[in-house]
Amino acid sequence: MTDRLLDATHDPALQSWVPSANEPGTDFPIQNLPYGAFRRVGRDEPLRIGVAIGDQVLDLKLAAAQAGWPADVQPLLAPLAAGDLNALMAQGAPARRQLRAALSQALRAGSPQQAALAGALVPQSEAAMAVPCRIGDYTDFYTGIHHATAVGKLFRPDNPLLPNYKWVPIGYHGRVSSIGVSGQRFRRPTGQTAGPEGTPLFGPVKRLDYELELGVFVGAGNAQGEPMTMAQAEDEWFGMVLLNDWSARDLQAWEYQPLGPFLSKSFATTISPWIVTQEALAPFRRPFTRPEGDPAPLPYLDSATNSERGALGLTIEVWLQTPAMAQPERLSCGNAADAYWTVAQMLTHHSSNGCNLQPGDLLGSGTLSGPNPDQAGSLLELTQGGKQAITLSSGETRTFLQDGDTVILKAYAEAPGARRVGFGECRGTVLG
C-alpha cells in the first residue's frame, strides 16, 4: 500500500468529541465516517443522509444549517441534506475526499464546530434506516473462487471450475426492486422446481439459502461507449456494504440453464445500511496475487496498482438466530482477500464493452468463501448440498433455512497501525 492513500483522517490516534466513537470495539470510529439514509423513528419527515459516528448519526440536514463549514464544502453538503447521496457519488473521488476531510475536522476532539453540531446528533437507536441511495442497476459477480469450486464439485467433481472462470469476471443482472436494507423480512418464495421424472412442481421452495457477499457502489461511472481503464475504475468506486444474496437453491437448479439465475435470486436481497467509503478502507488494502500456475489477467484487467493493493483484508462473518435461540450463533468466518477478482477488475470488465455504469449502481461480489470448511459463505457449502446437516448450539439442525430464521452478516477490518473499522449488521429474516 502506498502512503498517498493515507492522510490525517486515518491517524489511529485521532479521537472524536462523540465519546462512543472512541470505544475500542465500535464499528464507527472517526476513521470510518460511512454514509447512510435515514429518518427519525416515528417522524413523518423526508429521508436525509447521515454519517455514523460511534452509536450516533450526524444528521447532515441539521449539520449543513450550522456555521463553520468551509465555503467549498457547503455545496457538497446541500444535496446530502436533501437525501441525495447519488449527487456526491456523481462528483467523483476529489469531492468524496474533500468532504471526508471536512467531516473529520468537524467531529474530532477539540473541533470549534462541536457546540454547533452537538444538536445535529441522532442516536442510531432512533434512526430508521433506508436503502442509502438510488440504485439504478444491480450486477452480481462470482469472484469467490472457493465458493465456485465447492459448488462446482457438487455437480462436476472432476472439473469444478468452468474454463472461463480464471479469465473473465462472471456476473449476471440482478433485480433492484427487491433490494432492502438490514432488518428486511420477506416471505419464503414459491416457484417451479424439479419433480419426479422431469415433471416440475410448483410451491414453496425447500432449499432456501443465504450468500455472504460485499456490495460495491459505483461513483461517477463512465459514459456509454467509453470503457473504464483500471486506473479510472480504481477511483470510480464509492464504497462498500455487506450484501446477502438470498438464494432458492431448488428453484435455481431447475431454472438456471441456459440463461442463469432468475426467480431464484430476485425475491429479496439485503444490504447493510452504511456505505463504508473506499477511503475508510485504504489502510486495509493488500497486494493482489494469483496462485502459482494460474493465468495472469489479460492486459485490460491488469495494472501495477492492482497488484500492489487490489485485495482488501476484511474479516467477514455469518451468524444465524433461529426462533428457539436467545442469541445468534456464528456459522462461519472468512476474509474478503480470498476473492479471485478485485473491485477495479469488476468495474473495468463491466464497462469493457462500452456499458455505462452510473452513480449508485451496485455490484455484488458473489459469495465470498475461504479455503476451509468453516469459511463457507453459504449453507449449500456448509451442508455439502444439503447432505450433511449442521447441528446448532440449541440442538437444532439445519440443511437450509427454515421459517423464522434470521441471518446476520458482519464485517470489520483490522491492521497494524490502523483503527478498527466495521460495517454494522446486515440482518434479514425469513417469514413463513
- The catalytic site residues sit at 147
Q: Which helix (H) or strand (E) holds 63?
A: helix 60-64
- Hey, CA dihedral for 254, 255, 256, 259, is it positive or negative? positive
Nearest residue to 373 (alpha-carbon basis) of 141, 142, 143, 149:
149
User: Three cell numbers at 307?
Assistant: 497488484
The Cα–Cα gap between 147 and 114 comes to 47
CB within 8 A of 205, min separation 6: which ones? 188, 189, 190, 191, 193, 248, 249, 250, 251
The Cα–Cα gap between 105 and 308 comes to 30
**CB-based contact 21:109 (threshold 8 Å):** no
Q: For 124-164, where are the alpha helices, taking DSSP H only?
A: 145-155
CB within 8 A of 430, min separation 6: which ones? 186, 188, 208, 401, 402, 403, 404, 405, 406
DSSP string across 308-334: HH-EE--EEEEEEE-TT-SS-EEEEEE
**CB-based contact 313:337 (threshold 8 Å):** yes
The Cα–Cα gap between 347 and 362 comes to 10
The Cα–Cα gap between 111 and 421 comes to 22
Pairing of strands 362-364, 138-141: parallel
